[in-house]
Amino acid sequence: MLITVLIILAVVVAGVLVATKFGFLKDEDKNGIPDNVDVKIAEVKAKVDEVKTDVKEVVVETKKRVARVKQEVGDVAKAAKEVVKQAKDVTKAATTNTTARKGRKPKK
């Protein structure tokens, strides 16, 4: 199977080279590649450059979002710790016989 594909590919390449050599395909810059193929290669390169630019923009935006999510996760962790502290106060209030309420601890 692989040998068959390679033979077909070699025949196609040889055909293009012969057609270019004898003038059936235009090759004004004499680089061995038909001119219409050069145009397609240029179009592909332009598209690749465009995609690279788009990828860079997406990477920058993703990094910004990741940083923001990290900040939010930190805020949520702080809030969760505060909830745990408050829950301890609730259980203490439910189990003790005091009438005075302790309240929140002052911030430092």
pLDDT in tens, 53-76: 999 999 999 999 999 999 999 999
Q: What is the pLDDT of residue 48?
A: 92
Domain range summary for the chain, segments of one domain joined by +: 10-91
Please state, for a pLDDT cut of 90, what percent of the chain lies above it.
38
pLDDT greater at residue 1 or residue 7:
7
Q: Whole-prediction pTM value?
A: 0.44
- The b-or-e profile of 17-33 (16+ CB within 10 A means b, else e) is eeebeeeebebeeeeee
**Mean of pLDDT values over 77-104:** 78
Q: Count Cβ atoms below 10 Å from residue 35 Cβ, excluding itself.
A: 13
Q: What is the pLDDT of residue 50?
A: 93
